[in-house]
Structure 1
Amino acid sequence: MNRKLFVSGMLVLLLVLSTGCGQKPQISPSNGVTQDETGANGDHNSSNGGQANDADQPKDNTAKEGNADQPDTENKDAVKDQNTAKIETYFTDDQMLELQKVEQEITYKSEDDKYLAALKALQSTSDQKLFPLWGKAIFNSAKIQSGEVTVDLSLPDEARLGAGGETLALDAVKQTLFQFSEVQSIRLLVDGQEIDTLMGHVELEQPLTRN
């Protein structure tokens, strides 16, 4: 009886031992983190690694900085091509009794532009006490050839003056253009046509010459 109990106990012990040996122990990672945690951390590190790589890559600010710092070459070229000159321009008082000289600065590119700019300077003044005789006229062009400046202009009805104003207006043009030593004569055209009188009061002898 005791022998049977002993044999039975040994069989039970062997069965327990064999069952324990059949289960393989899990090997923990060297860093002591479980496999699930390693996977989770691996994903997290992968995500962070992507962000780190993006952060490590230099940002391409060339386009932005280029746009911000790029000089306005067109404007600079335009300014570079401009010439400036101080000239004498002529206006009259509100009674239209005599001409008053005013120094102004003009800008221009070519010689033809210089004469046109000088004529357009006759159209306005910052002095409220002076009257621009050519304020309502339209200067279309002014070109020089062989010392003669041909001026083409338009005269709306509101630009026409009385006899006294017409005389002063002609004197203003002559004194403004004849200050340039290369100008020897002036020919006036209205809408491209040569005229005998500018505003109907003063007869013109074309071309106008230096006195």
Structure 2
Amino acid sequence: MNKKIWSVGLLAAVMVLGAGCGQKPGAAPGNTSEQNTSVAPSPEGGDNTESTNGAGGSSQTPGETTETITVYYTDPELLELKEGSSKIMLKKSSEKYEATFEALKKSDSAEMVSLWEKAELNSSTFEDGKLTLDLHIPDEARLGSGGELFAVDALKKTYFQFEEVKSLQLLVDGKQVESLMGHVELENPETR
């Protein structure tokens, strides 16, 4: 009997500790009020709900602008690219390309799967119509040939919606590569 009481007490203690150790959405790393990228994809490109990670809810602070962009995802079976819509909030225009990549990483719809969720953007630079994205692609972010083709197409279609972007140079950890994940040959740079 005493052994059962100790077992139940130990189990209860582990459950309490486990519940206390979970991350709250506002406390996740990189989820600060300074990074107010709102992403709410819409399968039809229609109205989206707007949210921010700051304490102000969906309010926009002075000096911020909101822009609605088109973002490309895939279906759960990786059979086709799907067009979505996201709102990004920018404090300055130079943040547009980073915010766009963050939008590519997130999808709130089960029918629209992000191809870039586990990849990281090391940096982005824009000069004379050429956008350079330096990516980090960990092993868990690597896709098969069909997924990689859709991932490259999603990047191109998403970034080429901006009229000022004439070419897109993709780097992996600062180096020019022939393929992002080993299946699809890249043009260096990708062009419209």
Tell me the TM-score normalised to structure 1 length: 0.61
Give the SS at the match of 2:104.
helix
Q: Partners in 1 of 2:173 and 2:61 — Cα distance? A: 31
Give the SS at the match of 1:122.
helix
Q: Partners in 1 of 2:124 and 2:63 — Cα distance? A: 19
Specify which of 112, 117, 128 is matched with residue 135 of structure 1.
Answer: 117
Q: Does 1:118 align with 2:100?
A: yes
Deviates more, 1:157-166 or 1:190-199: 190-199
Aligned to 1:159: 141
Identity %: 46
Q: Over the residues paired in the alignment, what is the CA RMSD in angstroms?
A: 1.6
Q: Does 1:81 align with 2:39?
A: no
C-alpha deviations, 1:92-144, integer Å up to 9, x for none? 01110111111110012333310111111011111012211001000122221
Aligned to 1:35: none
Aligned to 1:188: 170
Instruction: From the two aligned structures, give the one with the greater helix fraction.
Output: 1
Q: Partners in 2 of 1:110 and 1:208 — Cα distance? A: 26
What's the CA shift for 1:160? 0.3
Deviates more, 1:105-114 or 1:199-208: 105-114
Q: Partners in 2 of 1:138 and 1:149 — Cα distance? A: 16
Which structure has more relative contact order (CA 8 Å, sep 6+)? It is 2
Aligned to 2:77: 95
Aligned to 2:183: 201
Question: What is the identity, as a one-letter code, of the residue corresponding to 1:117?
Answer: A
Question: What is the identity, as a one-letter code, of the residue corresponding to 2:74?
Answer: T
Deviates more, 1:101-110 or 1:200-209: 101-110
Give the SS at the match of 2:135.
strand
Question: What is the identity, as a one-letter code, of the residue corresponding to 2:111?
Answer: K
Q: Is the radius of gyration larger for structure 1 or structure 2?
A: 1
Give the SS at the match of 1:197.
coil
